[in-house]
Amino acid sequence: MLTVENLQKSFGGVQATRDVSLAFPAGSLTAIIGPNGAGKTTFFNLISGQIRPDAGRVVFDGEDVVGRSSLEMVRRGMARAFQVASLFPSLTVREALTAAVTAHQRRSWSLLARFPLGQSRARVEELLELLGLGAKAELVSSSLSHGDQKLLDIGLALAMDPKVLLLDEPTAGMGPDERWRMIEKVHHLWQAKSLTMIFIEHDMDIVFKYAQAVHVLKYGAVLAQGTPAEIRRNQDVIDAYLGTDHHLAEGAA
Amino acid sequence: MNLDVLAGCVATASCFVTQVSTGLIVGMLLFLVASGLSLIFGVLGVVNFAHGVFYMLGAYFAFAAYEATGSFVLALLAGAAGAGLVGIVFERFFMSRVYGKDLLMQLLVCYAAILICDDLVKIVFGADYKLMGMPEAFATAPVEVLGGFIPGYYIFMVGMALGIGAVLWLGINRTRLGKIIRALAINPQMVGALGINTRLLYAGVFGMGCVLAGTAGALAAPVRTLTPGMGLSVLIESFIVTVIGGMGSIPGALVAAILIGLTRAFGAIGFPLFTDGLMFALMGLVLILRPSGLLGARTA
Amino acid sequence: MRAGLMRDLGLGLIGLVLLLALPALFPHPSLRDFLIYVIAYGLLAMSLNLLVGLTGLVSFGHAAYFASGAYVFGLLMQGGAVSIPVAMLAAVGGTALLALVIGAICVRLKEIYFSFITLAFQMFIHSIILTWVDLTGGDQGLRGGIPRPPFLGIDLGDAGTLYAFCAVVFVACLLVMRQVWQSPFGYTLRMIRDNPARANFLGVDVVRMKLGVFVLAGTMASVAGIIMALFVSGAFPEFGFWTTSGEAIFMIMLGGTQVFLGPVIGAFLLQLLNHYVTIWTHHHGLVLGIVILAIVLGLRRGVADYAMAWLADRRAAAAPPATPAKAAAPAETKAAG
């Protein structure tokens, strides 16, 4: 579904992405991990068209898409949610989802009809159901709890009916219980929509429990890749994490 | 359009010198006002749409002090300090309440300040034109340069403005206080965490910006007629200067102010009706090609 | 959503009847003049609010299109070759083209830079009007009156007919803008207002959408300019001066940006304020300034926005706590920002 080859990017002499080559097969659920400053978000920005790589290829759905705008990448089926939920504060949950679905249906320019369009209704109901936000549909986005905001952010991305969904730390800023509920939901979405999903995550327990494959980045380069079991045993990864956090080592024991 | 006259003037040394000197003093006044505007925007991130008010207040305070004491030095000080004080009051009681609010709220507060201050000046000083007259120290024969005549006061004004600009630039770039102010522009929380009273600092910077505008008004008083709405055209032009030079850049303001001053001086001969149009065209061009201005940081 | 459309049409009709009835019930010419000013400036402010309130684009140069509508219409009518409806269409079309060209450059800039470049274009156009004396009459404006030959049996030379015509055009434009406000297009603009970067990541072509609404707003402003030109039988450079834009912004803020009719309410309040303040005192600016400060620092939003939020609060307090806050309330009652 998505492969990147020899991706390079530097910002003013600082190499943020070094020769990254990774593959994400259709329908896979992959975690990207790495210490702070490993270039994980930059990697997302590179593949989603927000910034242009200095060199390398991004092959999405069989086509080289380097240099395509983020707008075009969305239209081709790559959607993303953000580390800090990126919402429309004054719109209600239903309005926001409807507007997103309408954009996906290429009816944003529709001037003569009234909002919401009939053709978007079923899809919005489905999304509300899927997210479990049905009871909060009429609340203004900015009044939602932190977790619901993250969920709505993912819902907006899902409204694009994506082939690939990028989630930047879906559990960021949550307490332990909330984390697990969130990741359960994300996992459920992945199964229900048979998506190719890539998520950045810090919590190793979550990563090892849910991801099919784990890619480890460090200083912008690929440190290791493999199944959760392989990554747990990988000495490089253990070394990289031991300096900052021995959570991984404990988890492996 | 009178482009022949313009060409004739540029070709004649005396006319050229006269126009350049006129352009330079217009530019210097604009530079002072615009650098205040730029300072406030650079540090506080707000556009002081009421900046022309402080130029006007500076001129009227100087006028009043000169009438009362006959001392031009005291007049200058009164203009600068008076505008600064009003600026601090305006910042503390009104402007600071709309920081972080949308642009329109700030615009409206400033608009209200313009309306109120213009009317107050009208009530105190009257609606008619006021002339301060040239201080005696400068009532000397103009200096002759290449057949053109430059009044001594013009030279004094240019010197003052450049001096103030230099002190300002050094103050911001070479002193500890300047360092704190620059840090304030980038990361106010950090400065606050260092135990520095940021609110006081904000008021101080705002007041400093107003002192600059007030100084310009006081310097302009001997060579301009004073009217209650005099701040407006200066405000508009200093906006153009700030945008062209780059919001937040003092050297940028200097370059752009001289550019606009000269455009004004020579435009008045060649195309008096279209001078405004040309200035706005320049501003538009800069915004299209380099939105952050000629010398602004490239962040916009 | 046929129901919403029918409701708006019904309300439009009631509004029109009210507008037509008022001068008939109170036959003072000054009331009619007052109302035409409210109509022309209200329409200008409403059109600007498509940018400010709906899309989050603060234009400082909206009067350019007001002036363009007035001048093109006035010049065509003075030329004597076309009828009023044709001249109106040409003025609207010409302004749309102007807004397209200017907008294509402006909408790429963000925030305060957008505001400044729209101001620059407006002042540039104002300078052209001042400089091109042969065509525009320079600072004297289009003199000699704008002829109003009868068309389709309508004689706008008659003051009553002119008023009725302006009222009909006004209500029609309001209905058009209401449709924009309630359409998928309008909701996409709200996305852009709230979070343009996110809208882009949801497949919205932000730049094009902004350009679209910019042209639309310019077009509506040109209609306001035409009404003004018809009413004063001339066109003046002040139509395109920054003070006119400033006044429109002020009307929006006074009335409110998030309630559809807020700007018209603002135009009405401002005209009323101007009218009475000039009667009571010479210190017009002082009073107006204090009123503005009271609204900005006291209410912290426009009068209509404030009233709507207050009503919504009361309704929420009165309703049983279990129901979600705004199930049936119209979408624009939420005060944004």
Q: Decide: B43 and B205 in contact? Cβ < 8 Å.
A: yes
pLDDT tens digits along A207-240: 888 999 999 998 888 888 899 888 888 888 888 7
Whether residue A244 lies inside any domain: the answer is yes
Q: Decide: B142 and B152 in contact? Cβ < 8 Å.
A: yes
Are B115 and C119 inside 8 Å of each other by CB? no
The answer to whether residues A166 and A240 belong to one domain is yes
Burial B138-161, CB ≥16 within 10 A → b, else e: beeeeeeeeebebbebbbbbbebb
pLDDT at residue A247 in the model: 53
pLDDT at residue A101 in the model: 96
What ipTM was estimated for this complex?
Answer: 0.89
Q: Where would I find the H helices in chain A?
A: 40-47, 70-76, 93-104, 118-131, 146-158, 176-193, 204-210, 228-233, 235-242, 247-252
pLDDT at residue A175 in the model: 85
Task: State CA C201 to chain mean position distance.
Answer: 31
Greater pLDDT, B246 or A156: A156
Are C127 and B111 inside 8 Å of each other by CB? no
Whether residue A83 lies inside any domain: the answer is no
Name the average pLDDT for chain B.
Answer: 88
Whether residue C300 lies inside any domain: the answer is no
Provide the residue ranges of all domains of chain B, joining segments of one domain with +: 3-289
pLDDT at residue A243 in the model: 56
Whether residue C317 lies inside any domain: the answer is no
Q: Which residues pair with A24 in a beta bridge?
A: A2
Are C183 and A96 inside 8 Å of each other by CB? no
Q: Is the pLDDT of residue B102 over 80?
A: no
Closest by CA position to A84, among listed C113, C197, B278: C197
pLDDT at residue C36 in the model: 93
Candidates B108, B123, B239, B289, partner chain C, best to mutate (most C CBs within 10 A): B108
Cα torsion angle, C161, C163, C166, C167, sign:
negative
Q: What is the arithmetic mean of pLDDT over B17-30?
A: 91
For residue A115, the chain C residues in CB contact (below 8 A) are 1, 182-184, 186-187
- The whole-angstrom separation of Cα C173 and Cα C167 is 10
Number of domains making up chain A: 2
Residue numbers of the domain that contains A59: 2-77+162-252
pLDDT at residue C335 in the model: 38
User: Which CA distances in Å does C135 have to C140, C202, C273?
Assistant: 11, 48, 36
Residues of C with CB under 8 A from a CB of B: 52, 58, 105, 109-113, 115-117, 119-121, 123-124, 126-128, 130-131, 133, 138, 242, 246, 249-250, 252-253, 257, 283-286, 288-290, 292-293, 295-297, 300, 337
Are C131 and B271 inside 8 Å of each other by CB? yes
Confidence of residue A252 (pLDDT cuts 50, 70, 90): very low
A235 touches chain C (CB under 8 A): no
- The whole-angstrom separation of Cα C205 and Cα C147 is 44
Amino acid at C299: L
The answer to whether residues A55 and A167 belong to one domain is yes
pLDDT at residue B221 in the model: 92
Q: In chain C, which residues have pLDDT < 70?
A: 1, 319-337
Q: Which residue of A has its CA nearest to C329?
A: A138
Nearest CA to CA, how far is A113 from chain C (Å)? Answer: 6
pLDDT tens digits along A33-56: 988 878 889 999 999 999 999 999
For residue C109, the chain B residues in CB contact (below 8 A) are 287, 291
Output the six-digit token pair for C56: 């989050």
pLDDT at residue B62 in the model: 96
Q: What is the arithmetic mean of pLDDT over B162-191?
A: 88
Residue numbers of the domain that contains C183: 2-240
Closest by CA position to B172, among listed B53, B40, B51, B46: B40
Nearest CA to CA, how far is A90 from chain C (Å)? Answer: 5
Output the six-digit token pair for C269: 């309040």
The answer to whether residues A171 and A72 belong to one domain is yes
Do chain C and chain B touch with ≥3 beta carbon pairs under 8 Å? yes
Q: Which residue of A has its CA nearest to C6?
A: A114
User: A135, A160, A185 — which closes off a domain?
Assistant: A160
Whether residue A82 lies inside any domain: the answer is no
Number of domains making up chain C: 1
Q: What is the arithmetic mean of pLDDT over B247-257?
A: 89
User: Which CA distances in Å does C115 have to A152, C49, C68, C166?
Assistant: 32, 14, 19, 30
pLDDT at residue C30 in the model: 86
Q: Which residue has the tokens 């009631």?
A: C14
Nearest CA to CA, how far is B122 from chain C (Å)? Answer: 9
Using DSSP, state whether C57 is helix, strand or coil.
Answer: coil
Closest by CA position to C119, among listed C68, C71, C70, C63: C63
How many other CB atoms are found less than 10 A from the CB of residue C317? 8
pLDDT tens digits along A197-212: 999 998 888 888 899 9
**Spatial CB neighbours of A159, under 8 Å, sequence gap ≥ 6:** A97, A100, A101, A103, A104, A123, A127, C202
Q: Is C203 left (phi over 0), alpha (psi -120 to 50) or beta?
A: left
pTM of the model: 0.87
pLDDT at residue C315 in the model: 83
- For the domain spanning B3-289, the CATH number is 1.10.3470
Confidence of residue A242 (pLDDT cuts 50, 70, 90): low
Output the six-digit token pair for C57: 């684009």
For residue C337, the chain A residues in CB contact (below 8 A) are 90
